[in-house]
């Protein structure tokens, strides 16, 4: 059996216009170069993929010159070996590493064993000092573990122990920020078949992450340049290399490779090219950090009689705390302390029970302290280890201050300060209860390892006047006696209002002031020039409602928006602050003005006796908007637009119209359309109760029955109701069908 591996992404030649592998519809295989008939048996043909890819760039350390050889003969291949296909491989079969068992599929009836495999790296003509590697992209935080372990196997016809070494790189990229751990390999001789010899203990990789951190701390202690590899050795002889600023909290690249160590003076290295094969198996994280953490929370809610309420909350969460369902990497990596307190009070209660002044106050204060377990600027170095190198004092406190994340929240609100109206008297426009005042202030201050400070302050204020009167129209003609007839209702109902229904005046001020400064951690944490974000707005709102009569209502609404311009940068001088105050007193720079006027008139046509079935409403509305030109393009001019809309709505109540005719009233009420016909004297009625009928009244035979013989004679019987003829029935049904129309509405709208 021969196993062929075809690199589909590296074809020998390209036929036709094919450019990529996005639309492969079929594959073709053919044989050539044979001079006689052959029989070929094919076991399997399948597409094989792996998360590992060959690294095609140079692995030479920075600053090391490597001659460019266009004819580099080095062969480097990636593949896999497994127990099912390579169990009889020569000269060394593939076996499971010691202590490893094949996984069984529990969803099959016979618990079928799954295939077990390793990453195979084959190399040949690997030059002295050269390296080849395979890489895999990932995103992983491995700080919760202590070790990285892996089984390795090495074989080669001309290889001796230590001729080649394997290395593992963990870092943020491939060649600028990484940890490298290199270990010499023990070569398995041909013909070996035991797991202990194929996977010798000397090839077991065991990286202690603490050794990597110690190497980086030692480099930083020596002020070693970050762009030059720093090398050190462990107590067992493995070599550790640190370049750049790698971080085990954000491992984005894992690299497995083989290296032919460079011959140096005094070494036993032969300096020759090497050929061989390496297996990598069971790359795994071990010994996770199982330290437990603590957490606590508390809440307080207090009612202060009728004065208000007080509430407070507190939270503590220690390092290592996590829920039962949390993964190791999801546990808390910071010590969190947080508290908040707030109160709602009505200070008007201090003025006595007879006071009608409401002074609602809201105040809140809270802080959050978050101290990380690891140095935020060097995510895999414990903050405690850094602090151990400093005595208690200003420098140590400065490190803690720069590492923690802190936020402070403050708020104070005076909402709707006003006098409450007492009694049931008529509201007056001059009442103090029509005035209200609102003031609000809030601040959010934040700092973290990357931001020196970020302070956001908001100021809000509102002074308003709101009058809402009751509609009490004056009817000067309602008592005139000669206007009592219904036909004169239109004149008798004449009315008017002297006072407006509502009047609104309000001034709103909203200011945002944000001050931010970022840290320059590359320059010792010095601050970058701060930035300021300012926004100061003022709105004036007007509203007017007047029911001039019960049928005529006038409305006016307007909003004037303005901006309070502030000087550039910080308000750090008296002159700048005076400029802001002057702009505020002048009402700011107008930016937008809108108003809407409308009139609604209910035409009193329904008060005419013959037109009470009709309602007509007329509405007129006018809109106006003015927008100031932006300061960056003043030459464009301001923008003005206006519009007006007229609407007429008519509604006819058809039932009222139908009931004006007696004929239609009878039809709709199912009353007879002809007068009843009286019975002729002496005629025999078909009605057994009619006078002169021979039919005896059953009650007459019963002497106890009411109306029996001997009692007073009964009066005249009601007249007969004649049967309606067929033509009248048709008229009645037709009129009822037409009378199904109950209401008629018509709307006309004109917008200009």
Rounded (5°) CA angle 143-147-149: 135
Pick from 1-5, 288-292, 422-426, 469-473: least confident = 422-426
Sign of CA dihedral 388, 392, 398, 402: positive
* Residue 111 confidence (pLDDT): 86
Average pLDDT over residues 44-61: 83
The pLDDT of residue 594: 96
Mean pLDDT lowest among 26-30, 133-137, 503-507: 26-30
Q: Where are the alpha helices (DSSP H) in 80-233?
A: 195-198, 209-221
Q: Looking at the predicted structure, is the pLDDT value of residue 432 above 60?
A: yes
**Residue 671 pLDDT exceeds 80:** no
Residue 350 binned pLDDT confidence (cut-offs 50, 70, 90): confident
Q: DSSP alpha helices (H): ranges in 623-684?
A: 654-658, 662-668
- Averaged over 401-430, what is the pLDDT? 87
pLDDT at 69 over 80: no
Q: What's the CA gap between 140 and 247, in Å, rounded?
A: 10
Q: Place 691 in a pLDDT band, splitting at 50, 70 and 90.
A: very low
Mean pLDDT of 540-556: 91
* Mean pLDDT score, 733-746: 78
Looking at residue 676, what is its pLDDT?
52
Structural tokens at position 121: 């790296």
User: Cα separation of 533 and 516, whole Å?
Assistant: 8
Q: Could you tell me the residue ranges of all domains in the chain?
A: 53-100+112-288, 316-449, 475-659+748-752
**Does residue 12 register a pLDDT over 80?**
yes
Min mean pLDDT across 222-226, 322-326, 553-557 is at 322-326
Pick the CATH number of 53-100+112-288 from 2.60.120.260, 3.30.70.330, 3.30.460.20, 2.70.150.10: 2.60.120.260
Confidence at 7, pLDDT banded by 50, 70, 90? confident
Q: Please tell me which residue, 733 or 617, carries the higher pLDDT value.
A: 617
Residue 524's pLDDT is 65
* CB hemisphere CA count around 340 (13 angstroms): 15
**Strand arrangement, sheet containing 178-184:** 53-54, 131-140, 251-259, 165-171, 178-184, 239-243, 230-233
Residue 27 has pLDDT above 80, yes or no: yes
**Three-state secondary structure along 326-340?**
CCHHHCCCEEEEEEE
Confidence (pLDDT) at 63: 54
Q: For the residues 424-446, what does the mean pLDDT come to?
A: 88
Q: What angle do CA 420, 423, 429 make, to 5 degrees?
A: 65
Q: Are 507 and 542 in contact (CB under 8 A)?
A: no
Residue 705 binned pLDDT confidence (cut-offs 50, 70, 90): very low
What is the predicted pLDDT for the residue at 700? 43
More confident position, 643 or 526:
643
Query: Residue 104 forms beta bridges with which residues?
Result: 113
Cβ neighbours of residue 150 closer than 8 Å, sequence gap 6 or more: 168, 204, 205, 280, 281, 282, 283, 284
Q: Which of 77-91, 347-361, 437-451, 562-576 has the lowest mean pLDDT?
A: 347-361
pLDDT tens, residue by residue, 30-47: 888 889 988 889 888 888
Residue 8 confidence class, pLDDT cut points 50, 70, 90: confident
pLDDT band with cut points at 50, 70 and 90 for residue 720: low
- pLDDT for residue 619 is more than 90: yes
Task: Compute the C-alpha angle 643/644/645, nearest 5°.
Answer: 130
Q: What is the average per-residue pLDDT within 618-634?
A: 91
Which neighbouring-strand residues pair with 81? 118
Distance separating alpha carbons of residues 236 and 704, to the nearest angstrom: 133
Which residue did the predictor score with more confidence, 270 or 160? 160
Which of 52-56, 366-370, 659-663, 714-718 comes out lowest in average pLDDT? 714-718
pLDDT of residue 598: 94
Strand 552-563, strand 531-547: pairing:
antiparallel
Question: Would the pLDDT of 572 be above 90?
Answer: no
Least confident of 67-71, 435-439, 558-562: 67-71
Per-residue confidence (pLDDT) for residue 408, from 0 to 100 = 97
Find the mean pLDDT for residues 487-499: 81
pLDDT band with cut points at 50, 70 and 90 for residue 680: very low
pLDDT: is 687 or 538 the higher one?
538
pLDDT in tens, 138-195: 998 899 899 999 999 999 988 999 999 999 999 999 889 999 999 999 999 998 889 9
Cis peptide before 78 (omega within 30 of 0): no
The pLDDT assigned to 22 comes to 87
User: In whole numbers, what is the pLDDT of the chain averaged over residues?
Assistant: 85
Task: Please write the tens of the pLDDT for every residue from 212-238.
Answer: 999 999 998 899 999 999 999 998 889
Cβ-Cβ contacts under 8 Å for 702 (sequence gap 6 or more):
708
| % of the chain surpassing 90 pLDDT | 43
Confidence band (pLDDT; 50, 70, 90) for 675? low
């Amino acid at each position: 059996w021969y196993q062929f591996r075809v690199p589909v992404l590296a074809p020998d030649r390209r036929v036709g216009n094919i450019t990529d592998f996005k639309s492969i519809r079929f594959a073709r295989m053919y044989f050539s170069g044979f001079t006689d008939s052959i029989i070929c048996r094919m076991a399997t043909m399948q597409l094989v993929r792996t998360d590992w890819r060959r690294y095609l760039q140079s692995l030479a350390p920075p600053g090391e010159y490597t001659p460019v050889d266009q004819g580099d003969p080095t062969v480097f291949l990636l593949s896999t070996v497994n127990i099912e296909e390579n169990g009889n491989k020569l000269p060394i079969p593939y076996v499971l590493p010691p202590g490893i068992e094949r996984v069984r599929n529990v969803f099959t009836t016979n618990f079928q064993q799954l295939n077990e495999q390793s990453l195979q790296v084959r190399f040949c003509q690997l030059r002295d000092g050269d390296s080849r590697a395979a890489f895999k992209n990932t995103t992983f935080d491995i700080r919760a573990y202590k070790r990285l372990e892996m089984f390795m196997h090495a074989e080669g016809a001309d290889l001796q122990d230590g001729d080649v070494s394997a290395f593992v790189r963990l870092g943020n990229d491939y060649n600028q920020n990484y940890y490298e751990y290199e270990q010499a390999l023990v070569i398995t001789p041909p013909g070996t078949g035991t797991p202990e010899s194929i996977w010798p203990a000397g090839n077991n990789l065991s990286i202690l992450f603490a050794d990597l951190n110690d190497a980086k701390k030692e480099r930083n202690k020596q002020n070693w340049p970050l762009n030059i590899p720093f090398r050190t050795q462990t107590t067992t002889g493995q070599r550790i290399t640190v370049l750049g600023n790698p971080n085990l909290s954000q491992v984005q690249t894992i690299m497995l490779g083989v290296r032919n160590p460079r011959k140096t003076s005094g070494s036993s290295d032969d300096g020759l090219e090497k050929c061989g094969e390496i297996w990598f198996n069971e790359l795994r994280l071990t010994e996770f950090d199982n330290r437990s953490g603590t957490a606590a929370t508390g809440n307080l809610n207090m009612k202060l009689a009728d004065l208000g309420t007080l509430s407070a909350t507190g939270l503590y969460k220690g390092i290592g705390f996590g829920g039962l369902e949390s993964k190791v990497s999801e546990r808390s990596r910071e010590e969190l302390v947080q508290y908040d307190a707030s109160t709602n009070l009505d200070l008007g209660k201090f003025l006595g029970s007879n006071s009608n002044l409401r002074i609602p106050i809201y105040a809140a204060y809270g802080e959050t302290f978050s101290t990380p377990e690891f140095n935020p600027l060097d995510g895999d170095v414990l903050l405690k280890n850094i602090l151990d190198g400093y005595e208690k004092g200003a420098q140590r406190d400065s490190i803690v201050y720069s590492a923690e994340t802190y936020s402070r929240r403050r708020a104070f609100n005076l909402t709707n300060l006003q006098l409450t109206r007492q009694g049931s008297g008529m509201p007056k426009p001059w009442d103090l209860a029509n005035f209200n005042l609102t003031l609000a202030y809030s601040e959010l201050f934040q700092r973290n390892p990357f931001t020196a400070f970020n302070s956001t302050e908001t100021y809000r204020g509102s002074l308003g006047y709101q009058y809402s009167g009751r509609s009490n129209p004056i009817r000067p003609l309602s008592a005139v006696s000669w206007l009592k007839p219904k036909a004169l209702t239109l004149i008798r109902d004449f009315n008017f209002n002297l006072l407006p229904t509502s009047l609104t005046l309000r001034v709103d001020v909203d200011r945002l002031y944000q001050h931010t400064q970022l840290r320059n951690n590359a320059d010792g944490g010095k601050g970058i020039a701060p930035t300021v974000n300012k926004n100061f707005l003022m709105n004036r709102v007007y509203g007017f409602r007047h029911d001039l009569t019960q049928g005529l209502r006038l409305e006016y609404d307007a909003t004037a928006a303005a901006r309070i311009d502030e000087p550039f940068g910080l308000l750090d001088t008296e002159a700048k602050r005076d400029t802001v105050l002057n702009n505020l007193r002048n009402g700011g720079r107008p930016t937008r003005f809108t108003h809407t006027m409308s009139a609604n008139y209910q035409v009193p046509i329904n008060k005419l006796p013959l037109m009470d079935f009709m309602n007509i409403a007329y509405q007129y509305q006018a809109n106006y908007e003015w927008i100031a030109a932006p300061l960056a393009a003043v030459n464009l001019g301001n923008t003005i637009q206006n519009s007006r809309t007229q609407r007429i709505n008519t509604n006819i109540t058809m039932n009222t119209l139908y009931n004006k005719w007696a004929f239609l009233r009878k039809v709709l009420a199912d009353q007879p359309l002809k007068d009843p016909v009286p019975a002729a004297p002496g005629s025999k009625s078909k009605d057994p109760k009619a006078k002169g009928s021979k039919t005896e009244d059953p009650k007459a035979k019963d002497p106890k029955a009411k109306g029996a013989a001997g009692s007073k004679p009964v009066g005249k019987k009601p007249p007969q109701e004649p049967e309606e003829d067929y033509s009248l029935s048709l008229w009645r049904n037709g009129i009822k069908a037409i009378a199904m129309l109950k209401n008629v509405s018509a709307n006309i709208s004109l917008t200009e």
